[in-house]
Amino acid sequence: MERSILATLMGGLLGISTLGSLAFVYASPGSPTPPPAPQNDWRLLDPITYENISIFPVVSSWNQDTREFLTLDEGLSTGEVIVSEQGAEGFARTRDGRPISIPHYNNGATVNQLVLVNRSKRPLLLLAGELVSGGKQDRIIGKDRIVPVGAPPLPLDVFCVEHGRWSSGAQFTAAKTMVHPSVREQAAVNQSQTEVWSAVRNGSTYGGGAAGLPPASAPAPRITSRDLSDAMASSAPTQSYEKIYQGNRLGVSVDEFVEEVQRRFARDTYGLKGERVVGVVVAYGGEVAWSDIFASGDLFDHYWNKLLRSYAVEALARPTFREVASRDNAGEFLRHLNGRETQETDPGVYRWRETTEGRLAQIELEALQPRPMILHRLLLHRTS
């Protein structure tokens, strides 16, 4: 407890209120952070299954008020949030036609950093893996974070998912897309541009057999790395994530897969009394792989469609095992990990916390204002 208090005080002292400056705190495995109160109220429902995917809804009677937070899609759509290349300068317009200045920052564009301005009256929530389209290349957000009201232009860490293009493009817009878990893992956990590109090209980083490859007896995935290569060569030569997964470029329909899972999910979660769906635990075949849980049903509802699409792409890129994961194994993804912990803090704004335990990695984004709450919790079984 003393070590935890000391770490918190160090975070406050080291933080500098400049362009997103963060204080880094490393905690030993012997000083785990107590789980937040809402976690004790999570309940797992029976899985919704289709093809090789099982989705366990996570419900709670505890719902935080998250209306104060602005999402990236909302901010970009209204013009209240501006994302530009470094060195860009000019004007954009809001939905009602009002001009907004895009600040000049730094000397030139770089692959792994953009400039973000939050001109809204609400703090902005960013999640790792969210796609912004345009500029010189499409990019994804590199890490969960919150951008406060009135913050100066922020140098934003990103990863490129459009290998090949580096030319003038339209202003960055909301793609309303979340990259699938294999790519999100490389950005959020491994923080590697090379591995992000590899995951985009190969579809999945899942390795279930020797040398990191699926067992020879595994049923083939419906999207193969050859399919992806062919699609890039013919329809998306710049290897743009957004183009690759549009329509039927790969000969399979992601949309049909999503629609069927959505129909079953809506049917099985209809009529909950005194509870809301706040997240999901996702399994492929018999392997529980991923979970996304939010502070409120409203936040989950906002992200659900693009999260589901990302889970579907991952399912199509993995071997088509038809086993259903056990409820007990899925329930393990609701517990708080006890392992090595790393924290980054923007004092008075948010705390980002990563805990690793064996092959499991847990990332929590905690808002510190207007009241402390875990806005988003990601737990995954690492594939690499």
Q: What's the first-to-final CA gap in the chain, in angstroms?
A: 33
Residue with the bigger pLDDT between 76 and 225: it is 76
Residue with the bigger pLDDT between 225 and 248: it is 225
Beta pairing partners, 293: 279, 377
The predicted model gives 67-84 an average pLDDT of: 93
Cβ atoms 5, 27 nearer than 8 A: no
pLDDT value of position 145: 96
Q: How far apart are CA 117 and CA 100, in angstroms?
A: 10
Cβ atoms 341, 362 nearer than 8 A: no
The predicted model gives 339-353 an average pLDDT of: 95
Residue with the bigger pLDDT between 333 and 25: it is 333
Q: How far apart are CA 293 and CA 314, in angstroms?
A: 18
Confidence grade of residue 355 (pLDDT, cut at 50, 70, 90)? very high
Residue with the bigger pLDDT between 169 and 97: it is 169
Confidence grade of residue 14 (pLDDT, cut at 50, 70, 90)? very low
Model confidence pLDDT, tens digit, residues 262-320 = 999 999 999 999 999 999 999 999 999 999 999 999 999 999 999 999 999 899 888 88
pLDDT value of position 251: 62
Residue with the bigger pLDDT between 110 and 31: it is 110
Confidence grade of residue 165 (pLDDT, cut at 50, 70, 90)? low
Judged against a pLDDT cut of 50, whether residue 181 lies above it is answered with yes
State the Cα angle at 183 between 180 and 186, rounded to 5°.
Answer: 145
Q: How far apart are CA 347 and CA 365, in angstroms?
A: 13
Q: How far apart are CA 127 and CA 142, in angstroms?
A: 8
Query: Helix, strand, or coil here: 194?
Result: helix
Place of tokens 């000969």: 251
